[in-house]
Amino acid sequence: MGIAAMLVWAVVLLSFYVSGRVESYIRPEYLRTCTLLAGLGLLALSLFNLRHLRSSVSCGHDHHHDQDHGGCDHHHDHDHAHCDHDHGLDVHDHEDTSISGNGALLAIMVVPVLVSVFYSQDRFLSAATIRNKGFVQDTNAVAARVEKEINAAAPGTVSKSGEDGILEYTLADLEKVVQRSPEGNLMLTVDQLFYTAGDAELQRVLKGQAVEAVGQVIPDPDSGRKNRLRLFILMVSCCAADAQPVSIAVEFPGKPPEHKEMQWVKVSGTMVYNVENGQKQAVLKAAKMEPTKEPANDLLY
């Protein structure tokens, strides 16, 4: 039964790897390879033990003889030539520490895995789950990634000198690394827009600019405003279970257009920055919101 349970795990791991489903679950750079190695390892271990199943059951002598004879100095005279383990090292404990009964093993190790494989939608479905995870508040949480992406303009090539002689970050700098859509909107990601709330220079550059961003939407009851939604993407450290939503507020002139909770949307509008609850907030004053396809890389690693 143990071998069968391991085979199930091996098949699940390998099928997730081969189908690419694994990328919706864990950080792909190194854990994807770990999934492959674990799947192959478990498969090899299961098949190896399946092949050698008889070597453990054909060993019909008393497995507790060393307890019975512990410390004695007699000589064994039976033939262990058929027995594939080493008495001298006391590896005589075929089931010594095993605690999993067959039925329990199947119920606990296999059933939840198979149920999850068939019923998991490879993403979070509930806005309540997202809210429970708590929106990231600190813009430094995405600093390393975003600074690399949107502060990448070569200094001095586009920037102009400020009053103090230090190079200022300008819209031209930003346009060097951020594309505009056919409608003329700066195409930024949700984490980039979120980050700007903690960067005065970027706020100066982006304030009043036409931007667009893609993310999932959920209501924003905490804001106390009926014309607001939260646009978010999920940031993952290791696996989806540790995902945290990175979000910005999206504000409409009136009631938000029809949408489904957790729907992927593209929102375009103008950036403004408000101080709310003592904290600077990036707010996208939306002119348009339309459903869009879920991007291939829906999780931010």
Site for another protein in 48-87 (CB under 8 A): 48-49, 52, 55-56, 66-67, 69-73, 75-87
Longest dimension (CA), the chain: 96
Among 46, 189, 196, 268, binds another protein (CB under 8 A): 46
Does residue 129 bind another protein (CB under 8 A)? yes
Site for another protein in 236-255 (CB under 8 A): 237-242, 244
* Closest-CA residue to 262 (of 301, 240, 230): 230
* Phi–psi pair at 184, nearest 5 degrees: 95, 5
Query: What are the DSSP calls for 58-90, one per residue?
Result: S--S-TTHHHHTTT------S--TT--S-GGGT
Does residue 112 bind another protein (CB under 8 A)? yes
Q: How many CB atoms lie within 10 A of CB 40?
A: 14
For residue 277, which amino acid is it? N
Shortest distance (Å) from residue 62 CB to another protein: 12
Taking the least distance from each CB to another protein, the nearer of 48 and 225 is 48
Site for another protein in 155-184 (CB under 8 A): none
Residues 245, 233 contacting (CB under 8 angstroms): yes
Instruction: Single out the segment in contact with another protein by CB under 8 A; choices: 39-47, 152-160, 202-210, 212-220.
Output: 39-47
Site for another protein in 206-235 (CB under 8 A): none
**90, 97, 103, 105 from 100: Cα distances, Å:** 22, 9, 8, 6
Count of residues in contact with another protein, rule CB under 8 A? 94
Taking the least distance from each CB to another protein, the nearer of 47 and 210 is 47
Does residue 294 bind another protein (CB under 8 A)? no
Taking the least distance from each CB to another protein, the nearer of 183 and 222 is 222
Query: Which residue carries 């309540």 as its tokens?
Result: 128
Contacts of 103 (CB under 8 A, 6+ apart): none
Instruction: Single out the segment in contact with another protein by CB under 8 A; choices: 43-51, 208-216, 249-257, 285-293.
Output: 43-51
Shortest distance (Å) from residue 211 CB to another protein: 25
* Phi–psi pair at 20, nearest 5 degrees: 85, 0
Shortest distance (Å) from residue 13 CB to another protein: 6
